Amino acid sequence: MSRPIQAIIDYSALVHNLTIVRQYAPKARILAVLKANAYGHGLLHTANALKNVDGFALLELEAAITLRTIGYQQPILLLEGFFSTKEIALVEQYQLSPVIHHAEQVSMLSDFKNHKIDIFIKVNTGMNRLGLSPKQLPQVIKELTNNQHVKNITLMTHFASADDPSEKASVLRQLRCFETITETYNYPCSLANSAAIINYPETHSDWVRPGIMLYGASPFPDKTAADLNLLPVMTLSSKIIAIHDLEAGDKVGYHGLFKADDRMRIGIVACGYADGYPRHAPTGTPVLVNNQRSRLLGRISMDMLAIDLTGVKNTKLGDPVVLWGKGIPVEEIAMYAGTSSYQLLCGLSARVDRKFLKSF
């Protein structure tokens, strides 16, 4: 199919961003987070670009097995652990490292038969999502240290608000909680996500878990990726497939949500919400046309959107339009649409053609 929309995935940018992670956390080992098909960037290509990283972290058992099967020897962390005793044999066979976050998983570990495995124990320090309560931790550690099939133990937690500059007290409160309940144990620890890696060096500990920053997007509402010396890995682009000249009063798109105040020219671009572009992105959301900044007009359709060509020089059918990526940070689009860069990157539709650049 020759539909012009495509996502260009630049893995040299990914390698660059990993270098930035190492600069922020030079003493910690790195678990690169590859969940959700590497945030929409392609699991296998991303793992290849990051092949020298200390370990990988993801959710999907099948994806973890794939990485192990094709030869990756690093630790592979299952961020939600295992969900049933049926999965335990696969965790053993492929030497995966599950997160233990509730007592029932500890009971399931009695089904381990053949090999020792590494375990990450997640502690709930205030996010109240996954994790053992501080009161549960001593008993769980006692049970796991007595389990002959448990090899190494790492303690971990997750910060709820490390990406919010106004929530420093909350982050430090979680950090103090974690330090208090783990101070009697001599185990390696993992606390820091992307935001904490950048803003809270005291949280780096033994393992850091970068996600969004690897893919070249800022985790902060008040800083861009460029501010952090991160490069966008994904650039979503398409082309103009129709051009119209409007008179004052003409309306654009479903329900005529945009109305021309004067004579103007618009372009129709082959990109819509079925491609993963946010349907609720409003008029004014920026785009890049022939390297010139312009804006969306009206409501996003399933397969198309309208942009303002008034004042944009030398535009014609087939001209390139960048929706996010190089020149238009994905976090800026997310801000206009009232969503997050995580959702945009992970939500890119499978029907969008990916072009992989592997200059690393």
The one catalytic residue in 11, 35, 72, 122 is 35
Annotation says 316 is catalytic: no
pLDDT at site 86:
87
The whole model's pTM is what?
A: 0.94
Which domains does the chain possess?
Answer: 11-217 (3.20.20.10), 234-357 (2.40.37.10)
Identity (one letter) of the amino acid at 120? F
Convert the pLDDT of each residue in 242-266 to its tens digit: 999 999 999 999 999 999 999 999 9
Q: How many CA atoms lie within 13 A of 249 on its CB side?
A: 0
pLDDT at site 360:
45
pLDDT at site 142:
94
C-alpha 352: how far from chain center: 18
Give which of 228, 158, 231 is closest to 199, Cα–Cα: 228
Convert the pLDDT of each residue in 61-103 to its tens digit: 999 999 999 999 999 999 999 999 889 889 999 999 999 999 9
The one catalytic residue in 27, 254, 316, 358 is 254
Low-confidence ranges of the chain (pLDDT < 50): 360
pLDDT at site 1:
56
Binding site listing: 129, 302
Q: Which residues of 239-266 are buried (b: 16+ CB within 10 A; e: fewer)?
A: bbbeeeebeeeeebbeeeebebeeebbb
Q: How many CB atoms lie within 10 A of CB 92?
A: 17
Annotation says 273 is catalytic: no
Binding site listing for substrate: 129, 302
Reduced to 3 states (helix: H, G, I; strand: E, B; else coil), residue 198 is helix
Please work out, in degrees rounded to the nearest 5, the angle formed at the alpha carbon of residue 328 by the alpha carbons of 327 and 334: 165
Q: Is the dihedral of CA 127, 132, 137, 141 positive or negative?
A: negative
Gyration radius (Cα) of the chain, Å? 23
